[in-house]
Every structure is written in structure tokens, then in C-alpha cells.
């Protein structure tokens, strides 16, 4: 793992040219407000070294309601939209995969998004997205 940044109860780090995101403690419905997005901007630009990276959000360890809350709150972050090439969201059930997939298609369609149950498949998607982006430059 590269440099790690903790914003509220979510940890961000860069590994293998992928920006990882994982909840590290109970979420308690804390809203991501403008100040937190400012913290994200300052911190994430630093750990990404100015590069656009795919975002891998690991929600396997959280329940359904927490997962939906995190996805909705991260969708409000303009910083994540500005630095992310794509999003790969890893969940622990087919139900969450369906619900989050529908939510992202309807309300947050800025980035290419895929939802996975397998962390390995999500990583492959992120690496492929990064490879395609960098081959076109």
C-alpha cells in the first residue's frame, strides 16, 4: 500500500495505479459535506501524484444500508469525479450489486461504473481501465 489517507471513517490509498477506498469503522450516517470534499481534494491529489486513476471501492465488510449510504455520499464528491477514470465497487451480495448498479446508472452516471462481488475481478477491471486510458495518451 502506498500513502494512506483517512477522511472521516473511510481510508484511501494508492496501490498498483488504483485508488482504493474502504470503510475502516462504523459509518453512522455521517454526511460528506463541502469541508470533507475539500479534505479529499487536498489529500487525494497528493497521494495520486496528479494522475487520473481508477477508483476501487471495497464495501464487502459493511451491511446493505451502510454500503448504500457510502456510495451515495461518495457520489457527491466532485474531487472523486475529477480524479477517477472509472469506479469498481465490490459488495458482498447480489442484491447490493443490483441496487448499487441501478443507483449509479440513474443518479451518478458521470464515470464508467461496474459492481463486483469478486475483488480480483474488480482489480482486473481497474487495471484494464488504466491501461486503456494510458494507451490513448
Count of domains observed in the chain: 1
Alpha-carbon dihedral sign for residues 11, 7, 9, 5:
positive
Kindly tell me if the per-residue pLDDT of 26 is higher than 70.
no
Domain that holds residue 88: 4-135
What was the pLDDT predicted at 125?
96
Residues near 109 by Cβ (< 8 Å), separated by ≥ 6?
none
Kindly tell me if the per-residue pLDDT of 98 is higher than 60.
yes
User: pLDDT (tens digit, 9 = 90+) per residue, 71-96?
Assistant: 888 887 888 888 899 999 999 999 99
pTM of the model: 0.87
pLDDT band at 13 (very low <50, low <70, confident <90, very high): very high
pLDDT band at 35 (very low <50, low <70, confident <90, very high): low
Q: What is the DSSP string of 62-130?
A: S-HHHHHHHHHHHHT-HHHHHHEEEEEEE-SSHHHHHHHHHHHHHH--SS-EEEES-HHHHHHHHHHHH
What was the pLDDT predicted at 7?
80
Amino acid at each position: 500500500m502506498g500513502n494512506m489517507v483517512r477522511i472521516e471513517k473511510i481510508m484511501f490509498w494508492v496501490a498498483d495505479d488504483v485508488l482504493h477506498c474502504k470503510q475502516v469503522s462504523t459509518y453512522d450516517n455521517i454526511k460528506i459535506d463541502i469541508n470533507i470534499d475539500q479534505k479529499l481534494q487536498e489529500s487525494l491529489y497528493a497521494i495520486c501524484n496528479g494522475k487520473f486513476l481508477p477508483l476501487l471501492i471495497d464495501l464487502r465488510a459493511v451491511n446493505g444500508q451502510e454500503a448504500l449510504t457510502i456510495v451515495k455520499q461518495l457520489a457527491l464528491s466532485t474531487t472523486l469525479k475529477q480524479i477517477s477514470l472509472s469506479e469498481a465497487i465490490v459488495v458482498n451480495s447480489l442484491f447490493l450489486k443490483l441496487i448499487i448498479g441501478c443507483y449509479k446508472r440513474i443518479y451518478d452516471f458521470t464515470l464508467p461504473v461496474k459492481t463486483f462481488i469478486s475483488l480480483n475481478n474488480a482489480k482486473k477491471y481497474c487495471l484494464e481501465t488504466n491501461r486503456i486510458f494510458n494507451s490513448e495518451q
